Structure 1
Amino acid sequence: MYLCISGFLRGVNVDDSLKFDLDLKESYNSRILQLLGHRSLNAMAEGEWLLTKEQVIEISKIIGESLPTDLDLFIGVLA
């Protein structure tokens, strides 16, 4: 299992298509789980979680990659 970040246009839009998709390396899992306050990937697997601006900034630091700031970003678990 691994974490995936997906992005959609903010707010209520006619266009609800996926605008951003990033599969994260498993090596980041423990740091991101700790940041988000989840005990395990299994605990997160019940859905996708909307990331706050602060969480997006911290995840960007962890992965060493800029994430879009103009989208609603969600994180979830994929098998």
Structure 2
Amino acid sequence: MHLCISGFLLESSEDDSLKFEHDLDSSLNDQIVQILGHKNLNAMAEGEWLLTDEQIAHLSEITGVALPTDLKLFIGVEA
């Protein structure tokens, strides 16, 4: 299992299509789960979680990926 970040337009009334997707390196799973305040990866698998601006900045720093700040970003578990 790995974590994936998905991004959608801030105002999605007309366009709710996926605008950004990034699979995270599974070696970062434990660190990311801890940062997001979840118990474990299985607990995160219950759904997708909206990321705050602070979490986005922290994840960008950890992953070395410049995550977009002009989208609603969600994180979830994929098999």
TM bucket, shorter chain: over 0.9
CA RMSD of aligned residues (A): 0.8
Provide the TM-score with structure 1 as the length reference: 0.96
Partner of 2:74: 74
Partner of 2:30: 30
Moved over 6 A (4+): none
Provide the TM-score with structure 2 as the length reference: 0.96
Letter in 2 for 1:20: F
- Partner SS for 1:59: helix
- Partner SS for 1:66: coil
Point out where structure 2 has 5 or more consecutive residues left out of the alignment: none
Partner of 1:6: 6
Aligned residues: percent identity?
Answer: 65
Point out where structure 1 has 5 or more consecutive residues left out of the alignment: none
